């Protein structure tokens, strides 16, 4: 029915091939990450970077069987642990000579207050800082292989977020719904500042882009930490996208030819979407960048 078609939203129509290209997708063992991997595995080599290796291997062998592509590889990555992120990057750089697309897809949502291995609040640590560090560590390889793309999965929830520098780790006040919104706003600001820094660096010979997106409201395991949300998701599942429908904008940002030189933008349903006022604040974006570097103990100029 047309209602269902409306819910499904935009579809990625690009038939771009990725022969000889390498894609990393974080958190691709379930939900939209897995569907993104399934689609891109029909085009080229995909590396599934996940914390849960057993789940990831199951997803990978299902995708290999379905696509006939044996180049679907699992590597361990726990975004809640800087040591794991550094080990993943080190191993990847030693084993793979190429990297063309990095999809920062993994995320946590509505967690009760908890901290990562390095003492960061879980939403901020996994959704923002983990991907910030991963991108930093893989950036040179992406540059060498340009044209390259970085795709950050954010959310419409960024509209409800603000970057609270006075209480970044939510120690003074914590609301798990808002913590998720804050981390998704951080994704938008990171994308914006990253795109700004990449532009003009070496854009002469090749394109190197960074874009963010809202996948839509998707029926997935992301709400597992909330009983109420899990219950609501079940009731309203007809009005939610399937993971396959939810993956379309990620795929679009990763492969669509018309985005070759589009950078620093935010998409939903495979088209540009409205970014909140806070998501367009360049001063906050710059400050978040330097605070993130401080927290991670890195120099990224």
Identify whether 147 is preceded by a cis peptide bond (ω within 30 of 0).
yes
Distances (CA, A) of 292 to 131, 148, 235, 243, 288: 11, 23, 39, 31, 6
- Phi and psi (nearest 5°) for 212? -120, 165
Contact 130, 84 (CB under 8 A): no
Q: What are phi and psi of 66, to 5 degrees?
A: -75, -35
User: Hey, what are 142's tokens?
Assistant: 């992406």
> Which secondary-structure segment (H or E) carries 249?
helix 248-255
Closest CA to 26 of 71, 88, 87, 96: 88
Residue with structure tokens 């940002």?
253
Q: Annotated catalytic, 266?
A: no
DSSP assignment of 252-297, as one string? Answer: HHHH-GGGTT--S-EEETTEE----TGGG-HHHHHHHHHHHHHHHT
> Annotated catalytic residue: which of 174, 180, 252, 266?
180
Q: Which of these, 113, 107, 104, lies nearest to 126 by C-alpha position?
A: 107
Helix (H) or strand (E) holding 141: helix 131-144
Q: Looking at the annotation, which residues are catalytic?
A: 180
């Amino acid at each position: 029915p047309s209602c269902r078609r409306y819910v499904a939203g935009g579809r990625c129509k690009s038939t771009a091939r990725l022969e000889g290209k390498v894609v990393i997708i974080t958190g691709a063992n379930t939900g939209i990450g897995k569907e993104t991997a399934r689609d891109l595995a029909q085009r080229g080599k995909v590396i599934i970077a996940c914390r849960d290796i057993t789940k990831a291997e199951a997803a990978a062998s299902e995708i290999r069987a379905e696509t006939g592509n044996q180049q679907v590889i699992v590597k361990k990555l726990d975004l809640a642990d800087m040591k794991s992120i550094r080990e993943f990057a080190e191993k990847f750089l030693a084993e793979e000579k190429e990297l063309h697309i990095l999809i920062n897809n993994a995320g946590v949502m509505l967690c009760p207050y908890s901290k990562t291995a390095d003492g960061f609040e879980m939403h901020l640590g996994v959704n923002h800082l983990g991907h910030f560090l991963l991108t930093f560590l893989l950036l040179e390889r992406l540059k060498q292989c340009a044209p390259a793309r970085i795709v950050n999965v954010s959310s419409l929830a960024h509209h409800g977020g603000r970057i609270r520098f006075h209480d970044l780790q939510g120690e003074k006040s914590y609301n798990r719904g808002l913590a998720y919104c804050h981390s998704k706003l951080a994704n938008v600001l990171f994308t914006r500042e990253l795109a700004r820094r990449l532009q003009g660096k070496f854009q002469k010979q090749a394109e190197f882009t960074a874009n963010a997106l809202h996948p839509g409201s998707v029926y997935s395991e992301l709400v597992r930490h909330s009983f109420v949300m899990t219950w609501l998701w079940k009731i309203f599942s007809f009005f939610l996208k399937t993971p396959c429908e939810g993956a379309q904008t990620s795929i679009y940002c990763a492969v669509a030819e018309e985005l070759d030189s589009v950078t620093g933008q935010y998409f939903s349903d495979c088209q540009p979407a409205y970014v909140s006022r806070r998501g367009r604040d360049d001063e906050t974006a710059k400050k978040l960048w330097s605070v993130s570097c401080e927290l991670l103990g890195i120099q990224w100029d």
